[in-house]
Chain A
Amino acid sequence: MTRSQIVDWALSLYEDLDFYQARQWASETPSGKAVGHLPVYAPREVIHASKMLPVGIYGGGDQVEIIRGDAFYQSYICHIPRSVVELCQAGNFDFLSGVLFPSTCDVIRNLSGMWQLLKPEQYVRYVDLPQIGDPQLGSKFWGQEIRTLVRDLGEISGSPANEDQLRESVALFNESRQLIRALYEKRSKEPWRIPTEELYLLMRAGEIAPVEIFNEKLRTYLAAADEGDYPVKDRSRVVVAGAFCEQPPLGLIKTIERAGCYIVDDDFLVGNRLLLSDVSLDGSVVDNLARSFFSDSEKTSVLYESDPEGKKKLMKARVDAVNADGIIFAAPSFCDPALLDRPMLRKGAEENNIPCIAFKYAENTGQFQQFREQAGTFSDSIKLWGGQ
C-alpha cells in the first residue's frame, strides 16, 4: 500500500459516520461486538483484551447537520455532544454494546447519564480518571476502576480477559504508542515530510481501526515518509494547544499549515499517546497500566496539575521539546477544560517570551478566512520580529 493509499484509507474512515467499516471489523472480533468511548482518554487495551473493538466517538465534525442534537443542548454548550446525540438518535451507534464516558468535563459526564436513558440496552460507564497527586493512592484507585472495566466488559463480550490476554493487548497498544510517538517525532523534525492533515487523519483512523491494522498502516506510512524529496518551506513552527476533545474541522488544520505554519506538536486526540512510555508487561498488567498513568503520562487540561509550577512550565517545555517558534491556543467554544486552562498556560508562555495567539472554533466551523489571516499574520510576525 502506498502512502497516498494509506491516507485515502484514513480519510474514508474519517468520513464514515455510519461506521460501516467499524461494524465490519466488530463483526470479525471473537465476540462480534464493539464498545465506544468519548474523548479524552480511555484504556482501549481493556476493550481489546475483552475481544471487542474499541471505537472512538468524536462527533460528526462538519459533516452532520444538527437537528435533533440541538434539542438536547442550550446555545452555550459546546458542539461535540450535539453531534454525538444527533448520530446516536440516527442509530449510528446502535452497533455498540457499550460506551465509556471518561471524566473529561461536566458535559461529557452528564452525557453519560443521558446515554443511560437514550440507550438503555447499552452498557454505560463513567470512567473517573484519577486526579490526585499521590501515585500510590491514585494508582490503587485507578487499578480498581480498570478491574471493574475488565469484569464488566468481560460480561458483555462473554469472554472475560485474563492476564495473558491483557498482556497481549497492552503489548499491541504499547507498539501503537511507540509508532505514534515516532510519527510525531518525525513530524517535529521534518514537518515538510508529514503534513499535519495526513498525521491527523491517521490518528483518527486509529480511533476506529483494529489496533493490529492501525499499527501496520503506521509502519508503512512511517517508512514511506522517509522516501522522496519534499520542499522545505519558510514557515513558522507552531504548537497547537487546546483541541483535545472536540476536534477542529480538517479544513482548520489545513488552513493553519497553508497560512504559513508548520504544526510541530498538538494535542489532537491526545488519549492515544497519553501514556508516554511502554506499560510494563511483567507482573500484574492492570497494576502496571494504572501505575503508568501516574509515572509517565502526558499533561492535559482534563487532569489536575499537582505541581504548583506545572502550568507555568508546561508550554515552555512543549515548545522547547519540538523547537517551536510559537503557540496557537485553539480551543472549542465553551470548552471548560481548554478555556479555563488557557490564561495559566498563556501566562507561562508569555513570561518566557513565547509568541502566542488564541482563537476558538467549533467542530462544524465552515469559514476559515479569519483563521487564515490570524495564523498567517502570526507566522509573518514570528518570521519578521520573532513574534514580538
Chain B
Amino acid sequence: MLLAAATLLTLSACASGGDSQSATTPATPSTSGAASSPSGSPSPTEEERDQVVEVRVSVADGKVKPATRRVEVERDSQVRLLITSDVDDDVHVHGYDIEATLEAGRTTTVELVADQQGVFEVETHDGGLTLLQLQVG
C-alpha cells in the first residue's frame, strides 16, 4: 500500500505538472502557444486576476492530447478552454454545468469564471473521454 501510494504520489505530481500546458495570456484573444505556469508568479495581483488561464486540449483517434491532466487555477480566475476534436461531439464541464458543441476539426472555446471550489471534470459526451480536470482552489 505504502509503495503503491508513493508511486501514486510521484505519478500524480508529474500529472499535475501538466500545468505548464496552460498558458497565462492577456484577456485579449490570443493563440500564443508560449507556456508559462499561472502559479509562476509569487502572488496573485490585480494584473493576474485580469488575466485568463488558457487551456488547450484536443481529441484525435479517441485519444486526449495532452494526456488527461489536472489544471490548477485560483478561485475566481477566468478560464478559457480551447477544445479541438476530430469528431462531432458535446463537451461538458461538470459542476459548472456548461455544455458546448464540438464540430469536427474546429476549435471550440469555452469560457468560465472559476467561482466554485473543487475538482471538476471536463468530459466529452459521446466519446466519454475526460479531457482534463479543473482544480479550483
The reply to whether chain A is a binding partner of chain B is: no
Binding site for B on A (CB under 8 A): none
Binding site for A on B (CB under 8 A): none
